[in-house]
């Protein structure tokens, strides 16, 4: 992959958060079809269902990358990510989709930083291509999930509040990964500011 030792370790440390998120999102969208009301827009339902296939594909790609990296420095990262994702679960499907959309928006922002010019990932064409593709897919997922949440009656004000809450929790999850993020060219403070500035309108 052409990464330095420190960059490879940094990516290995951060990757469990992304992999866990992809797996969780796949499970959510696999279950969507059975939970939608009978009169739900069939085209929007099909778009929501298609997200699960994307997330499954992303998981495979990220697992392939992980296999070429060193072991994460801490096993607790994946556990903390899994706990964070469990806290997003909600019986209200519209609210759940709102939270998933917020998480996907956060992932887009992380990947934008990871792929920015002069980062180690940007200097690795295979990784840059992969993460750029994932970011593009996740941006589409955000738009579809928000449409789905609105169609299910999610209030715009409540959606905005949930986006802020989810992004704040994601930022807190990433703080311990500051040194690892720095190793792949991402400044945790800049990323947190990006969450605050853009989270509500992505």
Taking phi over 0 as left and psi of -120 to 50 as alpha, with beta for the rest, 37 belongs to beta
Nearest alpha-carbon partner for 84 in 187, 184, 202, 171: 171
Number of domains observed in the structure of the chain: 1
DSSP string over the chain: ----HHHHHHHHHHHHHHHHHHHHHHHHHHHHHHHS-TTS-HHHHHHHHHHHHHHHHHHHHHHHHHTTSPPPS-THHHHHHHHHHHTT--SSHHHHHHHHHHHHHHHHHHHHHHTSTTSTTTT-HHHHHHHHHHHHHHHHHHHHHHHHHHHTT--HHHHHHHHHHHHHHHHHHHGGGHHHHHHTT--HHHHHHHHHHHTTT-
pLDDT (mean) for 187-196: 89
Query: Whole-number mean pLDDT of the chain?
Result: 89
CATH of the domain at 76: 1.20.1260
In the predicted structure, residue 199 carries a pLDDT above the cut 70: no
pLDDT (mean) for 22-49: 88
Residue 101's domain spans which residues? 5-198
Nearest alpha-carbon partner for 98 in 25, 162, 31: 162
pLDDT digits (tens, 9 = 90+) for 55-77: 999 999 999 999 999 999 887 88
High-pLDDT (> 90) share of the chain, %: 61
């Amino acid at each position: 992959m052409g990464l330095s030792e420190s960059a490879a370790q940094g990516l290995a440390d951060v990757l469990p958060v992304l992999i866990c998120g992809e797996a969780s999102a796949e499970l959510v969208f696999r279950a969507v079809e059975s939970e939608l009301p009978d009169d739900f827009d069939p085209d929007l339902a099909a778009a929501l269902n298609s997200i699960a296939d994307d997330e499954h594909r992303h998981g495979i790609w990220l697992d392939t990358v992980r296999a070429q990296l060193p072991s994460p420095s801490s096993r607790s990262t994946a556990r903390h990510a899994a706990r964070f994702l469990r806290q997003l679960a909600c019986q209200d499907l519209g609210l759940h989709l709102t939270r998933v959309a917020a998480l996907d928006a956060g992932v887009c922002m992380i990947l934008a930083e990871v792929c920015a010019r002069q980062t180690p990932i940007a200097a690795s064409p295979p990784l840059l291509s992969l993460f750029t593709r994932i970011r593009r897919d996740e941006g589409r997922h955000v738009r579809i999930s928000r449409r789905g949440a609105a169609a299910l009656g999610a209030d715009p004000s409540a959606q905005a509040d949930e986006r802020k809450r989810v992004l704040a929790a994601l930022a807190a999850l990433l703080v311990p990964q500051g040194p690892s993020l720095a190793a792949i060219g991402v400044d945790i403070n800049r990323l947190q500011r990006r969450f605050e500035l853009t989270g509500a309108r992505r």
